[in-house]
Amino acid sequence: MADDNTTELAQSAKKYWSAEGYTPGGVIREVDYKTQSTGLNPALAGIKIVDCDTHITEAPDLFTSRAPAKFKDKVPYCRRVNGVDKWFVGDRDFGSFGGNVIRKDNNKLLGRLAFPTLEEGHPGAIETKARLQAMDDMGVYAQICYQNSGVTQAGSLMSLGDNELGVAILQMYNDAAAERQVESGQRLFTLGHLPLWDKAAMEAEARRCLDMGIKGFVLPDTPERLGLPSFLDDYFTPLLEMCEASGAPINFHLNAAIDPNTLTWQGFAFEQTLSVVATMFSIGNAATLGNWIVSGRLDRHPKLKIGLIESGMGWVPFALEALEHQFDEMLPSKSKILQRRPWDYWRDHFWCTYWFESVGPKLLLETIGVDKVLFETDFPHPTSLYPGVQDHIMDTLGGYDDSVKKKVLETNAVKLYNLPF
């Protein structure tokens, strides 16, 4: 396990959700839940909507209830500090439980990242039965789920300095994901995390996850920031070959190759910074897209599938047009080595998601590709498409024929994640 930058890595989990996001304040948006959560719109009958970006809050006893005896006092546990629930490992603060701005009475908190304690938030953030009910109310059949805290991030676990413990924590997380998938009746699909710092363990855990039915993996797009080789290195080749052969996608969930926090003006209040950072995180997926396209990796793995998640879609044509231009103007030698053009790589390898946008789905869907766009809500995070999910779907996709609606809302996701319906 890497030793460099241990302090910085330890802080990565603590900073995963800024402490300021839990301070008193914000505004409660009153939700008329009865009228805004009436299930699937009749106009979408026959479509099983797959929500491709949501978050499951790790249960406070997820690790302590599963840990073998030798790790009982070493795994992450919940501690309340100054009224805020946080993850701790020993005496070290590993940050919050992540974002849940949906209150247990179904109203929504604006201008903050979450309620400070778990019990204030919607139980569907953690509990499967409550989550399924919320999905039914939103008219969503299935969800692709991501972590909701920094405690399972590779950098956080590397900072522990205990390889066996770090691997065990991720195994517990992945076991819970597989069990949730079964418990939900194959409606909640939580993607796997891997011990990236240990090549042999990474490959073994990837195979174990696939054998358990996990539908894909979450990766950082710049692992060299963790002191690991980049994706240009053959360190990752067996993992990518495994994903390619199994059809399991790799997913980059806002792990953009830029840090949006460096782009905002000094002196901003929390809410000002948050609004710009949230926007730039989505647009930053253009860097992830560009990195893979110019790398040559995709020529080595022609069947590799890549999800750009919580990405938005409106920036995609511009980014691809820019890359097309740069292939001619800035890559006089490399472009001759690469076997395809940017638009070809896009069509062969990538998928993006949309949620709040109207211009993208209404005007750019056919340009981007009706087979390449997924739908998401980001429930229960800040900026999530809640409430009014069905109204927004009808506003953005209502002008398309039923076959297009079904692709964007269901079959694109089914094909990307190899879902069992």
- The per-residue pLDDT for range 2-17, each reduced to its tens digit, is 455 555 555 666 666 7
Question: What gap in Å lies between CA 126 and CA 240, rounded to an integer?
Answer: 31
Is the residue at 141 inside a domain? yes
Question: Lowest mean pLDDT: which of 100-114, 267-281, 399-413?
Answer: 267-281
Give the rounded percent of residues in the chain with a pLDDT score beyond 70. Answer: 96
Question: Which H helix or E strand runs over 173?
Answer: helix 163-183
Residue 2: the pLDDT is 47
Question: What gap in Å lies between CA 393 and CA 396, rounded to an integer?
Answer: 5
Is the residue at 92 inside a domain? no
Question: What gap in Å lies between CA 322 and CA 126, rounded to an integer?
Answer: 41
Question: What gap in Å lies between CA 312 and CA 288, rounded to an integer?
Answer: 13
Cite the beta strand spans of 285-330 per DSSP E: 306-309
Q: Which CB contacts under 8 angstroms, 24+ apart, belong to 258-264?
A: 258/284, 258/287, 260/284
Question: Lowest mean pLDDT: which of 10-24, 55-69, 73-87, 317-331?
Answer: 10-24
Task: Count structural domains, the chain.
Answer: 1
- 4 or 31, greater pLDDT: 31
Give the rounded percent of residues in the chain with a pLDDT score beyond 90. Answer: 86
Is the residue at 8 inside a domain? no
Kindly tell me if the per-residue pLDDT of 200 is higher than 90: yes
Q: For residue 142, name the pLDDT band (cuts at 50, 70, 90).
A: very high
pLDDT per residue over 148-185, tens digit each? 999 999 999 999 999 999 999 999 999 999 999 999 99
Of 289, 335, 287, 282, the closest CA to residue 313 belongs to 282
Find the angle CA(159)-CA(160)-CA(162) to the nearest 5 degrees.
125
Mean pLDDT confidence for 372-399: 97
Average pLDDT, the chain: 94
CATH number, domain containing residue 385: 3.20.20.140
Kindly tell me if the per-residue pLDDT of 93 is higher than 90: yes
Kindly tell me if the per-residue pLDDT of 333 is higher than 70: yes
CA 175 from centroid of its chain's CA atoms: 18
Domain of residue 325 covers: 36-58+122-148+174-417
Question: What gap in Å lies between CA 264 and CA 152, rounded to an integer?
Answer: 27
Mean pLDDT confidence for 332-337: 80
Is the residue at 89 inside a domain? no
Is the residue at 161 inside a domain? no
- 11 or 289, greater pLDDT: 289
Residue 334: the pLDDT is 77
Identity of the amino acid at 380: P
- 358 or 6, greater pLDDT: 358
The pTM assigned to this predicted structure is 0.95
Does residue 78 contact residue 85 with C-beta atoms inside 8 Å? yes
